[in-house]
Each structure stands twice: as C-alpha cells, then as structure tokens.
Amino acid sequence: MFFPEYRPRRLRRTEALRRMIRETVLRPDDLILPLFAIGGRNVRNPIPSMPGHYQLSIDQLTGLAAEAWDAGVPALILFGLPDRKDDRGTEAYRDDGIVQQAVAAVKARVPDITIITDVCLCQYTDHGHCGVVENGEIANDATLELLAETALSHARAGADMVAPSDMMDGRVAAIRRALDDNGFSQLPIMAYSAKYCSAFYGPFRQAADSAPQFGDRRTYQMDPANSLEAVREVELDIAEGADIVMVKPALAYLDVIRRIREQVDLPLAAYNVSGEYSLIKAGAQLGWIDETRVMMETLTAIKRAGADMILTYFAIEAARTLQG
Ligand code: PBG
C-alpha cells in the first residue's frame, strides 16, 4: 500500500467513519473505583494531592459506591485507614475492622456492585511495611498467615473478590488455601502480580497513611527496570490460583501490560495509580492540559496496551463522560 493509491486520511474524514474503524473502545464496565474508608461519621477528609478524592467514613463511602454504580461502574476496591496501628497489623484482620465494616455497609446499600478488597498490611502496621518485620527485614512466610487471615475476614464480611497487593512470595496460594478451607472456594483472587516499586504511589501513601517508616519497599516490590521478571511473577500467581492478574502502575509500564497480555490468557487488570491521577489533576488545575481529553486518552491507552480492566481514581468521571 503506497501513496497515492492508499490514503489513510480517507477513513478519518468524518466522525462516523472514525467510529467505524476505532479499534479500542473504553466502557464503564472496564473501570474499578478505589475508595478509602476511615472511622467516624460524616467524615470527608480531602486528600490534598488527589483532588476529588477523600478519606470517607462509611456513611459517606456508601453514597459514593451508589454514585459509582449509577454511573455504570461495576466494581470498587476498598482500602482502610484503621484507628490504631501495631507491629503486626492486627486491625487488618479483625472481623469488625474498618474495611470489613465498609464491605458490609456497601453490600447493604448497593448490593449488586462488585466489592473488591485490597489485602495488605501496610496501612495497619506502625512501621508501614506490607509484612511483619523480623530482625529489620520483612519476613515473608510469617506474613502469609496474616494476609490469609485478612482475606478470610474480608470474605466473611461479604467481599466479592480479594486483591493481595503486598508482593510476598506465595501469598496467592496461602490465601487460596484459607478461602477454600473455609467455604469460600467461589471467591476470586485478583493478584497484584507485577507490582513495581514506584514513586507514582506517593499520593496514595498520603491518602492511606501507609508510607514505610524505615527503608523502602525494594526487597518485595519489583525493580522498574525489569520486564521478564514480571512474566515470572504473573506465571507464579497463576500457578498459585490467581483468577485475575495485575500490572501496576500502568502508564510507565504499558510495555509490560502488552507483554503479559500476549503471554497469558487470564483477565488482566492495570492500576492507573495515584501519581498518574495527581499529575493529570495538577496539569489541569494549572490550565496546561484539557483534563477530560487527557483522562480519556490515558484510559484508552491502558486498554489498547492490553488491559481488560482498569483500577482508576477517574472511574466515575470517565464513566460519566462515556455515557455522555
Ligand atoms: C498497598 C497498596 C499501595 C497501592 C495499592 N495498594 C501502595 C504501596 O504499595 O505503597 C498504591 C495505589 C496507588 O498509588 O494508587 N500495598
């Protein structure tokens, strides 16, 4: 095909033609909204680096869940801010913990929305690491039990899916076993499989009060320079029983999303993380970019790269834009 016989512009002339040859179509069904639950009543603490997002008491959070559902968003992922932290993250696996209460409340108010829970200890430990600390190191195997307990307590509260984000080795298997042994063999696991040690999580750590108090997460989260290792992580999680695998963050890792898409046939999620959201919001507030267009272009790019679903703080805005 050569010019002038082939003129690509012929098929770009009208909006109807462009719609006909469009390859990637974003839908509200592709979106998952993250929400932050905190104790109290009528609490709506703005998260300064994430305009439009709040730490929400449960009464407020259920309202947002209803808004998301009405906008066509099929799923939420819940994060909790406990009243109290300790060195073993006890509040993460209490049956009356903040996430467990939020799950039950959302279930009661918006029964059909899919409730996913983030399974990790970092919001619940006083040291801010995703696992228990032994001799100054993050102890892998000692953490597995606590993660399994956490997932199980979420399941008992009524969660529809659990999503381990800790990056301990073997956690998908540990959670799968705990769920199966306790009557939750139907509960799917969305594994944060290729989760990188990323500075793009900065705003989230402010939102969730989960920054590590010493060191960093490099001994458990992945080195941003690696992509073959992402394939190994994903294959391991699949072997351990993951139902959905995830690449996180999304934008700086579109090549990893594409690579995983080509290599495995499980549903693939990508997390459009807090820093990716904040940058767009900041650019828009400065008047430097068109927020709605950049948002839609970004989400479409993540889907085009190969993601089947996108966890994004833009979920409600994007769903509303799509519904016109
Ligand atoms: C908890 C967790 C993090 C995110 C999701 N789950 C933070 C981290 O690993 O430090 C990041 C989400 C975001 O930045 O939007 N382990």
Q: What is the pLDDT of residue 299?
A: 98
Q: Is the pLDDT of residue 214 over 90?
A: yes
Cβ atoms of 263 and 241 within 8 Å: the answer is: no
Tell me, what's the pLDDT at 91?
98
Q: Which atom of ligand 1 is nearest to the CA of 203?
A: 14
235: pLDDT strictly greater than 90: yes
Distance, C-alpha 94 to centroid of its chain: 22
pLDDT at 293 (0 to 100): 98
Q: Which residues contact 269 (CB under 8 A, 6 or more apart)?
A: 32, 190, 244, 245, 246, 247, 307, 308, 309, 310, 311
Q: Report the percentage of the chain scoring pLDDT > 90.
A: 99
b or e along 17-44 (b: 16 or more beta carbons within 10 Å of the residue's beta carbon)? eeeeeeeeebebebbbbbbbbbeeeebe
Q: What is the pLDDT of residue 98?
A: 98
Q: Give residues with Cβ within 8 angstroms of 158, minimum separation 6.
A: 103, 104, 107, 115
pLDDT confidence of residue 229: 98
Cα-to-centroid distance, 13 and ligand 1 (Å)? 43
State how far the Cα of 271 lies from the Cα of 302, in Å rounded to an integer.
9
Atom of ligand 1 nearest to the CA of 210: 10
Where on the phi/psi map is residue 38: left (φ > 0), alpha (ψ -120 to 50), or beta?
beta
The CATH number assigned to the domain with range 24-323 reads 3.20.20.70
The candidate with the shortest Cα–Cα distance to 198, out of 130, 253, 158, is 253
Q: How many residues does the chain have?
A: 324
Distance from Cα 11 to the centre of ligand 1, integer Å: 42
* Alpha carbons 298 and 208: distance in angstroms, whole number: 24
In tens, the pLDDT along 10-22 reads 999 999 999 999 9
pLDDT digits (tens, 9 = 90+) for 49-59: 999 999 999 99
Q: 16 CA to middle of ligand 1, Å?
A: 40
Distance in Å, CA 190 to ligand 1 centroid: 14
Q: Give the Å distance between the CA of 93 and the centre of ligand 1.
A: 18
Active-site residue, selected from the candidate residues 85, 107, 195, 281:
195
Q: Which atom of ligand 1 is nearest to the CA of 34?
A: 15
| Options 85, 107, 248, 281, the catalytic residue | 248
Ligand 1 atom, smallest distance to 212 CA: 10
- Token pair belonging to 170: 């073997």
Please name the residue whose Cα sits nearest to atom 2 of ligand 1. Answer: 165
Q: Residue 268: enclosing H or E segment and its boundaries?
A: strand 268-272
pLDDT above 70 as % of the chain: 100
Q: How confident is the model at residue 192 (pLDDT cuts 50, 70, 90)?
A: very high
Pocket test for ligand 1, best of 116, 129, 210 (most atoms within 8 A of CB): 210
- Residue 1 confidence (pLDDT) above 90: no
Half-sphere exposure for 4 (CA within 13 Å, toward CB): 0
**What confidence tens digit (pLDDT) does each residue in 70-97 have?**
999 999 999 999 999 999 999 999 999 9
Q: What is the pLDDT of residue 163?
A: 98
Query: How, if at all, do strands 54-57 and 44-46 pair?
Result: antiparallel
Top mutation candidate among 204, 276, 278 for ligand 1, by most atoms within 8 Å of CB: 204
**Known catalytic residue: 107?**
no
Confidence grade of residue 324 (pLDDT, cut at 50, 70, 90) = confident
Average pLDDT, the chain: 98
Contact 99, 110 (CB under 8 A): no
Name every protein residue with a CB atom under 6 angstroms from any ligand 1 atom: 118, 120, 122, 130, 165, 201, 204-205, 273-274
Q: Give the contacts of 78 (CB within 8 A, at least 6 positions apart).
A: 34, 35, 37, 61, 99, 102, 103, 106, 115, 116, 117, 118
How do residues 246-300 score in pLDDT, each as one tens digit? 999 999 999 999 999 999 999 999 999 999 999 999 999 999 999 999 999 999 9
Q: Where are the domains of the chain?
A: 24-323
Ligand 1: nearest atom to the Cα of 221: 9
Q: How confident is the model at residue 308 (pLDDT cuts 50, 70, 90)?
A: very high
